[in-house]
Structure 1
């Protein structure tokens, strides 16, 4: 069984649809200069609806330290918040990806940190299979919860119509919340 969620950025409204969704990932930053101007209101929408919240950084070439620190400087984290590294820029190396995730894990202990990338990046660019605390895979294959990869995954972004929609590989929202707060270690599947 899987649960549904969405991800939002400044392209979406501050008041987005939440019914039927257990979680949301919200874009906070990109590179070292951009901050989503809607993210605080988007977080309030999620929290008011009782959704598990995650936040992501869209990485650009440059310093992994500066980008990790910039991302973390924008957020006051709450228990159970999930952090994500959005790896879509071909100018960002595999070692940068690994180093950013490890830095965020060290600087934000107690918070799960996941890797977001598409199937092509995972199969053809990734050389370490390091995804932090879990893999968030994007593949629009028309089969929610069945990405074409062998590696265990936690989240599958399966469409961008009408908004980026995902399934989480968790029994229910309680299991996701338990995983995100470290109370249940084997809660997905």
Structure 2
């Protein structure tokens, strides 16, 4: 992966090298009584380099609402910046972690809010698999971009060599990372303008609802992420399977939108060449769209397979 970044705190210089970096995470606060003394200088240095900036809070036991308020009071947030909860203290429960992240998402809806934790916390202390807008997993024993989990991840901290934490992000390039981080511009997509019939919409909805079932077999991530001794995984997996169904439907609609856009781009060319009219091409495109939707619905209603 080519999208690389680092994370820094007061232990690192305020003039760290930014060569080849697409993003930089900077520690802002810890608990309700500590602010990184180099925070402002490190943030400014990262911004000057054109990197996507992230601000993180090291959570301690205590009031999650008070810690979030403390963090937001000191974080110098701008459009396109990312936020993160650093979960490393064993005195902070999974429920506390979830509470902080959900509250941060509610208070800062235009910023991505991530969870940072190490492999042990994710596999053995987490019980909900909730990571806000994305999981930033620390697994320095794994090859960059290949953390030893099956749950989707956004960033992987793969090394701390030389006193610098190095990371890779699951994006094709810096532009893709920036588009994702900036929720104010990425919230509206092409599928928002896709028009389908009521019958097709009902078919897709029925297929998605049908996915909301808990199979007798182990969940897809049981070989890794769900092997946490969590006796209440069934309820969490029920919600997950519903979300998986929704993601499958959206993926299918996105692909269909791209196909329709491609067909539309040749309508004028074919019509101008003679021998076929724009109306005839459009009719063919609509017929193809109906067939694709029918195939999508059939695929969604197919039994889920175990991972």
Please classify the TM superposition score into its range, dividing by the shorter chain length: over 0.9
Residue 40 of structure 2: SS of its match in structure 1? helix
Greater strand share, structure number: 1
Structure number having the greater helix percentage: 2
1:131 is paired with a residue whose SS is: coil
TM-score normalised according to structure 2 size: 0.59
What's the offset of the Cα at 1:76? 3.0
For residue 7 of structure 1, give the secondary structure of its aligned residue in structure 2.
Answer: strand
- The 5-angstrom pairing of residues 34-49 of structure 1 reads 34-49=34-49
Contact 1:26–1:43 (8 Å) recurs in 2: yes
How far does residue 37 in structure 1 lie from its aligned partner after superposition? 0.7
Residue by residue over 1:134-160, the C-alpha shift from the partner in whole angstroms, topping out at 9 and shown as x without a partner, is: 000000124000000000000000011
Aligned pairs for 1:20-59 (under 5 A) are: 20-59=20-59
2: CA distance between counterparts of 1:142 and 1:70? 34
- Secondary structure of the structure 2 residue equivalent to 1:179: helix
Match of 1:72 in 2: 72
- In the alignment, the residues of structure 1 paired with residue 64 and residue 82 of structure 2 have an alpha-carbon distance, to the nearest angstrom, of 19
| Residues 2, 145 of structure 1: 8 Å contact kept | no
User: 2:155·2:169 contact (CA, 8 Å) conserved in 1?
Assistant: yes
TM-score, normalised with respect to structure 1: 0.96
Aligned 8 A contact 2:30 2:57 in 1:
yes
Alignment partner of 2:62: what SS? Answer: coil
Q: Distance in 1 between matches of 2:2 and 2:143?
A: 12
1:181 aligns with: 182
1:5-28, Cα deviation, whole Å (9 max, x unpaired): 000000001111100110000000
Instruction: Provide the aligned C-alpha RMSD in A.
Output: 1.2
Q: Distance in 2 between matches of 1:158 and 1:23?
A: 15
Question: More relative contact order in 1 or in 2 (CA 8 Å, sep 6+)?
Answer: 1
- Following TM superposition, the consecutive aligned residue runs of length 4 or more in structure 1 with deviations greater than 6 angstroms are none
Query: Equivalents in 1 of 2:66, 2:114: separation in Å?
Result: 19
Name which of structure 1's ranges 68-77 and 144-153 shifts more when overlaid on structure 2: 68-77
Hey, what's the Cα distance between the residues in 2 that align with 1:79 and 1:59? 24
Q: How many residues align?
A: 186
Q: Distance in 1 between matches of 2:167 and 2:139?
A: 10
Counterpart Cα distance in 1 of 2:2 and 2:137? 15
Contact in 1 for aligned 2:111/2:182 (Cα 8 Å): yes
Partner of residue 61, structure 1: 61
Question: Which one has the largest radius of gyration?
Answer: 2
Task: Give the equivalent residue in structure 2 for 1:6.
Answer: 6
Tell me, what secondary structure is at the counterpart of 1:65?
helix
